[in-house]
Structure 1
Amino acid sequence: MFFTRFRINTARTRARALLESPQRLHAAVLQGFPDVPPARGGPRVLWRLDRASKTQVVLYVVSPQQPDYTHLVEQAGWPTLSPGWETRDYTPLLEKLAAGQRWEFRLTANPVHHVRTDRPRNDAHKTKATAHRTPRHQAAWLLQRQERCGFRVVARTGVEDTDNALESHELTVHNQRVLDFGKNDPPKNAEGPSQRRSVRVATVTFDGRLEVTDTDALRNVLTAGIGRAKAYGCGLMTLAPPREETG
């Protein structure tokens, strides 16, 4: 596994076009690999945009193969700088994980729940995925998944037990965004035109501190992602040592 950091040059027209469309940026990320691994059942290409400001935008990619982002440098980077991106082996961090360790984490995700859309028919309900809108419900969405994902969000010391995860845990929710963009679906038959449709994805970023409970499950999360909309910049969780331990 490999971890890549690419700073985007937001002054370039092509860079702004990529940032406006997760579909185009996803395609540009995948173009860095000669053979794209299957999206299901194991490690996959995950990516995330971190926006510190309008001019400080960094693309992070986790992938089973080492990428070549020469094309992305030409479109959205600084071509005179070499190589224009940083890639390092991700395996040492994955192998370092152990139960009981504490890490700071960041995750951009698409927290959704399913709601009924019509009356029961044949003892079944039709449902659709609907985004959680409030930070409280978004935080609860993450905590509902923590056990099977191999970690526990650290509880705040000195805080009484509460149903509000943001009050009782070392967790913040920020950077809520709604991504609206167009997507071309494959044609229904070999001779037909591609189908254009609108896509809307609600995303939010979680920052917090976790404790490792199941190393295999957490490794799977770090390499295969968590939640939906992974093709659109969601699902990539990254870890960093707790600040008091960085010296």
Structure 2
Amino acid sequence: MGHHPVNNATPTVPPTPDTAARFVATHTLLALDARHPYAAKSLIDAQDMHRTVMNGFKGWVDDGSRDARAQMGILSTWTVDLRRAQLSLVVQSGVPGDWSDVPRAALAEKPHNLTIDRTFRVGDEIDFRTVVNPVRSRPPAPGSPEKTRGVRVAHTRPEHVKTWFARRLQPVGEPALAPDGVTRIGADTDIDRLALRLLPKVSSPAPHKGLRIARAEIKGILTVTDPHAFVTALTRGIGHARAYSCGLILVR
């Protein structure tokens, strides 16, 4: 009986995107009295709103860490009901926050913590809402010195904001990184069925003069196409101005 050669080579199979991915984070819901100076200052000054959010996470990273927010996975979003004088702030983080420094009189109700632990699969349909900073980079003027950075210009028309968001969608079979370098969100949608609203800009006085952040709210239904990329988008947020309450995707 002759020996048959044994072929130990593993056949190469093209990688397929994971069919499921798990998302874990903490959400804190803060309901603040918009008339109290603590909340009123955050509404007027984007830098102060950033400080209000970050104050809940002292001691997790070294003071002065450049990327403290990203290290702790902190994203936030807020809405204000002027009739009820209530500022509703949602803070997402990878570590638990401590809100004991918020003046008791500024709280409309006790901070409410939720642990989010969800598994997303290809084909899941998800209700979402996000507030984004829709900007494009205008290239530097001809003849500018080398390494001059382009200027970020805000989109101010709803159709341009929709185009901005459409570039981040990920149709089935498409990679998580678009050919033009844009990071996609692992989900797709019918762009014409999205609800879109331009929001007031937020800004900050000295020493952050010139800090003016354009904002737009986008709501609709997403279909998950790449669960891993989708969880990354939920964890890291999308677009610019993530330190200023933009880019958090809230899902139901």
1:118 and 1:61, CA in 2 relative to 1: closer, same or farther beyond 3 A? same
Q: 1:61 aligns with which of 72, 88, 91?
A: 91
1:235 partnered with 2:250: no
Structure showing greater radius of gyration is 2
1:71 partnered with 2:92: no
Structure 1 unaligned residues grouped into runs of 5+: 156-164, 185-195, 241-247
1:14 partnered with 2:45: no
1:5 and 1:126, CA in 2 relative to 1: closer, same or farther beyond 3 A? closer
Match of 2:88, as an amino acid?
V
Match of 2:204, as an amino acid?
F
**1:84-95 alignment to 2 at 5 Å?**
84-90=110-116, 92-93=117-118
How far apart, CA to CA, are the structure 2 residues paired with 1:13 and 1:85? 18
**1:98-117 alignment to 2 at 5 Å?**
98-117=121-140
Aligned to 2:180: none
The RMSD of aligned alpha carbons is 2.3
1:214 and 1:35, CA in 2 relative to 1: closer, same or farther beyond 3 A? farther
How far apart, CA to CA, are the structure 1 residues paired with 2:45 and 2:124? 37
1:70 and 1:41, CA in 2 relative to 1: closer, same or farther beyond 3 A? closer
How far apart, CA to CA, are the structure 1 residues paired with 2:45 and 2:227? 35
How far apart, CA to CA, are the structure 2 residues paired with 1:125 and 1:34? 36
Larger helix proportion of the pair: 1
Tell me the matched-pair count.
Answer: 209
Aligned to 1:192: none
How far apart, CA to CA, are the structure 2 residues paired with 1:127 and 1:231? 21
How far apart, CA to CA, are the structure 2 residues paired with 1:122 and 1:15? 43
1:2–1:88 contact (8 Å) kept in structure 2: yes
Aligned to 2:238: 226
1:29 partnered with 2:53: yes
How far is the alpha carbon of 1:52 from its aligned partner?
A: 4.3
**Percent identity of the aligned residues?**
24
Structure 2 unaligned residues grouped into runs of 5+: 1-24, 62-66, 171-183
1:75 and 1:35, CA in 2 relative to 1: closer, same or farther beyond 3 A? farther
How far apart, CA to CA, are the structure 2 residues paired with 1:183 and 1:216? 41
Q: Deviations over 1:62-101 (max 9, x none)?
A: 00111111222536314xx5xx1111112x22xx211100
SS at match of 1:61: strand
1:214 and 1:53, CA in 2 relative to 1: closer, same or farther beyond 3 A? farther
Match of 1:208, as an amino acid?
G
2:133–2:241 contact (8 Å) kept in structure 1: yes
Aligned to 2:185: 149
1:3 and 1:118, CA in 2 relative to 1: closer, same or farther beyond 3 A? same
